[in-house]
Structure 1
Amino acid sequence: MDRMTLMFNRLIRPLKRRVLLMVSRAVIKTVNDAEGIQKLQVIGYDGELMEGLENFQQYGFSSCPPSGSEAVVVALGGNRGHAIVIGTQNRKYRVIHKKLGETVVHDDLGQMVHLKRDGIYVETPLKLEAIIGTTARVVAPAGVRLETPTLEVTGDIKDRCDDDGRTMAEMRDVYNSHVHPENDEGGPTNAPNEAM
């Protein structure tokens, strides 16, 4: 190798190293999710411990990746002391066999919201809770089916709510106090002996 080539290689060696270290893979050790931007502690190349790495996530979506998840680390300007995380994943919990265009939000407990080609599926081995500020409306022209041993409602249930429907409480009041003429003497019957 001639002298010019050696000098050139020596000059660009620091730049080459920075370029090679700009994007790397790492394994997440711990997560600090208590601040405005999530910070990660990761293990990079050759056991390199990197702390306080900002985890940039898509707006409107936030996750707290479990320890052992993988991360893509970008060293801004090739400076490993100023690195950020631009993506995380965990092979152990990834939902597989999706069709093109499908999207899944999931966690490590088997809970998921799956936007499938034929509809939206929500799965959870735990409880499902929806907190709604004002009203909720479900439009299901073919019907709504609940498969549950008990349906509990803290307020009234009303049928034909857009017409002349009654609440179950109103139907109960009518039933409990109703009388009608008897067939034998024409007088009214007593109210039902058991209230509804």
Structure 2
Amino acid sequence: MDHRSVGKLLAPLKRGLQMVVARALVTAVGQGRAQRVQVALLAGEVKDGVEHAEPYGFTAHPHAGATALVVFVGGDRSHGIAAVVSDPRYRPADLAPGEVCVYTDEGDEIRIKRGGELVIKAATKLRVETPFLEVTGEVRDRCDTGGRTMAEMRQTYDGHTHGGVQPGSASTATPNQGM
């Protein structure tokens, strides 16, 4: 069997595989629990209502222009599933091998770095909604400009005295309650 004969024999298989997986551009995103996207495939083929399958516990609302890997189960082009949606326009490009990052198009990120460091970068505010927050180690403010830990602030407060106070019946030399 020559090369041309093998090509003819494999052509239907090749066409079938091309019907199963396609690269696409996201053109619109719907709202709701089961996110649906509109995608533009090759040759101007547009598919509406393509299910955006996301891993449990993670979700995103991609921008138009994101790329998607769309799978058509059994080659049936009437039912597509966007198995992966990515957007290299916003992906941080400076991750070290093994690092993980959740990010937005605005540059905010949660980065799990090598060596056990977690970095949260938020442009305006970090809000934690919980009725109780525990920290097993120290908390330091203004860490890049020589800030103090809460333990250092507590030590300063607990050890401070009041100068120029007239003596009275109660001691005002040091606080009567610790911080």
User: Which interval holds the TM-score relative to the shorter structure?
Assistant: 0.7 to 0.9
Q: Does residue 72 of structure 1 match 2:59? A: no
Q: In the alignment, what sits opposite 1:151?
A: none
Q: Does residue 180 of structure 1 match 2:167? A: yes
SS at match of 2:136: coil
Q: Does residue 29 of structure 1 match 2:30? A: no
TM-score, length basis structure 1? 0.67
Q: Specify which of 141, 144, 148 is matched with residue 146 of structure 1.
A: 141
Conserved in 2, the CA contact under 8 Å of 1:18 and 1:79? Answer: no
TM-score, length basis structure 2? 0.72
SS at match of 2:74: helix
SS at match of 2:107: coil
Conserved in 2, the CA contact under 8 Å of 1:24 and 1:72? Answer: yes
Deviation of 1:44 after TM superposition, in Å, equals 0.4
Structure 1: runs of 5+ lacking an equivalent: 149-158, 161-165, 167-174, 182-187, 192-196
SS at match of 1:21: helix
The amino acid across from 1:102 in the alignment is E
SS at match of 2:93: coil
Deviation of 1:16 after TM superposition, in Å, equals 4.6
C-alpha separation in 2, matches of 1:98 and 1:62: 21
- Between Structure 1 and Structure 2, how many residues are aligned? 150
Structure 2: runs of 5+ lacking an equivalent: 144-153, 173-179
1:56-135 paired onto structure 2 within 5 Å: 56-118=53-115, 119-132=117-130, 134-135=131-132
Conserved in 2, the CA contact under 8 Å of 1:72 and 1:86? Answer: yes
RMSD: 3.2
Conserved in 2, the CA contact under 8 Å of 1:26 and 1:70? Answer: yes
Conserved in 2, the CA contact under 8 Å of 1:113 and 1:121? Answer: yes
User: Max radius of gyration: which structure?
Assistant: 1
Q: In the alignment, what sits opposite 2:18?
A: 20
